[in-house]
Amino acid sequence: MNPRIMEHNRKAAAMWGSGGRAYNEISRSIAGGIEHCVTRLRPSPGERIADIATGTGWTSRAVARCGAETTGIDIADELLSAARDIAREEGLSIGYRLGDAEYLPFDDGALNAAISTFGIMFAPDQQRAAAELVRTVRPGGRVAIAAWTPGSNAVAMRQVLQPFMTSAAPSSPPPSPFVWGTREWLQNALGQAFVVNSEEGTVVSRFASPEEAWDIYAGGFGPVRAVAAGLQGQALAEMKQALLDWMGQFSTSLGVALPIDYLVTVANRV
């Protein structure tokens, strides 16, 4: 199938891709949650596995190290370019393709498994993204999802940024991405063709200081970059201070240790 980015996701592609390779530092900070999901997926040599919303490829590299035939899919060319460079530097053979979680570039039943770590959850058409997982994963295959839970600090950070967002809220806001962090929603979205099991986890993102956390998020994390880009002068300084103050509450004598709760779900197709 030819790659296709849904029209309503083109703005998001530019936003997520804006940090380029610097996004890899975001993945580093949540690597424990990524590895948790890969461990529960249990990739095997020779399996055909897709990493959906791969970003700079952290998850796809972990899957490829298990010997699977791995493809990383993302809507952002800039992230895919970085993922290719890093995989080449690490001597890993991974195929990276431009693609949309709502329109995966795979034939029906082409995959032994699909995985997405803190990525597919941000697809605005959630039902279509879930349906694409159902379509592309063959009987006997599986889907592994890691997603932030509705009560996590990922939500709290969004709330810190909310007052600084300059664009008007849509009249019909999209559904919360954090429903992907609930077992019940995933069971309903994937349907009776899947047996769904989940377990909770908490990843601790560690930074030297609140200032380093700001530099990493403002440098590589698309949503923070997008909010900052809409501000200048005093407003930008206030946004930065708000995030510094919020991060500061997680300070230890060694730095910042930010806990973020998530759910890992593995759905086996019968």
Does position 96 have pLDDT exceeding 80, yes or no?
yes
Q: How far apart are the first and last CA of the chain?
A: 25
Phi-psi region of 20 (alpha: psi -120 to 50; beta: other; left: phi over 0): left
Q: What was the pLDDT predicted at 171?
A: 59
Tokens of 167: 């664009």
The per-residue pLDDT for range 112-160, each reduced to its tens digit, is 999 999 999 999 999 999 999 999 999 999 999 999 999 999 999 999 9
Exposure string of 236-262, with b = 16+ CB inside 10 Å and e = fewer, is: beebbeebeebbeebeeeeebebebbb
Q: Which residues neighbour 243 within 8 Å (Cβ) at sequence distance 6 or greater? A: 157, 160, 161, 210, 213, 214, 217, 224
* 256-269 vs 194-207, strand pairing mode: antiparallel
DSSP class per residue in 50-97: EEET-TTSHHHHHHHTTT-EEEEEES-HHHHHHHHHHHHHTT---EEE
Does position 184 have pLDDT exceeding 70, yes or no?
yes
Q: What was the pLDDT predicted at 209?
A: 98
Does position 205 have pLDDT exceeding 80, yes or no?
yes
What value does the mean pLDDT of the chain take? 96
Q: How far is CA 3 from CA 6, 71, 164, 222, 237, in A?
A: 10, 13, 35, 22, 40
CATH of domain 7-149+170-206+260-269: 3.40.50.150
- The ranges assigned to domains in the chain are 7-149+170-206+260-269
Instruction: Work out the burial of residue 121: count CB atoms within 10 Å of its CB; fewer than 13 is exposed, 13-18 middle, 19 or more buried.
Output: buried
Q: How far is CA 247 from CA 89, 106, 126, 213, 269, in A?
A: 33, 41, 30, 8, 40
Where residue 79 falls among pLDDT bands split at 50, 70, 90?
A: very high
The DSSP secondary-structure symbol of 105 reads S
Q: Is 180 helix (H, G, I), strand (E, B) or coil?
A: helix
Bridge partners (DSSP) listed for residue 217 = none
Note the pTM of the prediction, 2 decimals: 0.95
Q: Which residues neighbour 126 within 8 Å (Cβ) at sequence distance 6 or greater? A: 175, 177, 179, 180, 189
Does position 170 have pLDDT exceeding 70, yes or no?
no
Cα separation, 174 vs 155, whole angstroms = 15
Q: What was the pLDDT predicted at 4?
A: 82
Contact 231, 164 (CB under 8 A): yes
Q: Is 225 helix (H, G, I), strand (E, B) or coil?
A: helix
Tokens of 169: 């809220």
Cα separation, 178 vs 225, whole angstroms = 21
Give the residue, 4 or 263, on which the prediction is more confident: 263
